[in-house]
Amino acid sequence: MDRLAGQIAASQSRLYPTGEPFRRHHIDVGDGHVLYVEECGNPEGRPVVVLHGGPGGGCSPFMRQFFNPEHYRVILFDQRGCGRSRPVASVQANTTQHLIADIEVIRTTLNIQNWLLFGGSWGATLALAYAQSHPDRATGLILRGVFLGRQQELDWFYGGGAGRFFPDLWARFCDPIPEGERHDLIGAYHRRLFSDDRGRQQRFALPWLMWENALAGLQSAAASHAPPEYARAFARLENHYFANRCFLDENQLLKNRGRIAHLPAVIVQGRYDMVCPPQSAWDLAQGWDGCELRIVPASGHALSEPRIASELVRTMNELMDS
């Protein structure tokens, strides 16, 4: 989940300049996948890896702006099948476990001993899964719009829960699917997004993408279109992961939280996040002594929400002194 990354007109904590990467990589991680990776900021700075949302959203220059470029060495990459990684829209050998392994390949390739994990929405899911698999390689977690990959979260977004607040947008999402299949919208969209007809894939990709996009920002209006190939890659990858319950056991990230209990964490959560409601952030933070939950008022899900962005910049600035 999460793809919105627009510009912010003003915030209490100013974004840093976008800047340009000091190094770009195309890393072959096997299984036919080659990942796009970029390094920004200070080559000798404190390493932080940015895990984008989706699955399938890809990274953007906007994501570089939360980090003081004199202090941080920022690593961004496009996960398998999306962005500038190749092949695009491929779900072959594309699971959460593959992505965890990819992060380790990137870390060792760049000769990084350990690093901060910065991720929102699906990126928060992946950050938690990676940290629990490699707790000695994480120095802390900065999470936004927490998504734990649980069935109740998928039911909220694709089973009609969120649709009670947005009945017009929910109807638009359901309309392309015959009534007899609407009891399982993830499955119904899956059959169409993975048909043999590429044009059909693209036709069903746009309503899938627009449903999430419409709910991401509390105040910003959602775009009504997207480049067809971007929409296709995003929708196929996200649907693939959700059809497989994110390749996680139910409640896995909560059950295994003890593996990262020693790590510090900050959760930045929009009070009115309709994509990933605050309950998941609350559940994750309870009993985690080193975790600080910051619920941001008058804010939704998107990384581009002014108060969300401001709080993330403030958090990363605070960590420079730790």
Q: Report yes or no: 240 and 91 within 8 Å, Cβ to Cβ.
A: yes
90, 121, 280, 299: the catalytic one is: 121
Q: How many helices (H) and strands (E) does the chain have?
A: 10, 8
Instruction: Return the SS3 of 59.
Output: coil
Could you tell me which of 282, 298, 234 has the C-alpha nearest to residue 5?
234
Catalytic residue selected from 33, 299, 301, 310: 301
Q: Which two tokens stand for residue 262?
A: 């020693």
Single-letter amino acid code for the residue at 298 = A
Catalytic residue, chosen from 60, 78, 273, 299, is 273
For the beta sheet containing 291-296, the strands, ordered from the edge strand earlier in sequence to the opposite edge, are 23-30, 33-41, 72-77, 46-51, 115-120, 138-144, 265-270, 291-296
301 catalytic residue (yes or no): yes
Three-state SS for 141?
strand
| Bridge-based pairing state of the strands 33-41 and 46-51 | unpaired
Could you tell me which of 132, 125, 102, 101 has the C-alpha nearest to residue 246? 125
Q: Is 121 a catalytic residue?
A: yes
Q: Within 10 A of 2 (CB to CB), how many other CB atoms are there?
A: 27
Residue type at position 217: G
Distance CA 11, CA 272 (A): 19
Between CA 128 and CA 215 the distance in angstroms is 24
Cα–Cα separations (whole angstroms), residue 224 to 188, 212, 213:
22, 12, 9
61-100 burial by CB neighbour count: b if 16+ within 10 A, else e? ebbbbbbbbebbbbbbbbbbbbbbbbebbbbeebbbebbb
| Known active-site residue 98 | no
Catalytic residues: 121, 273, 301
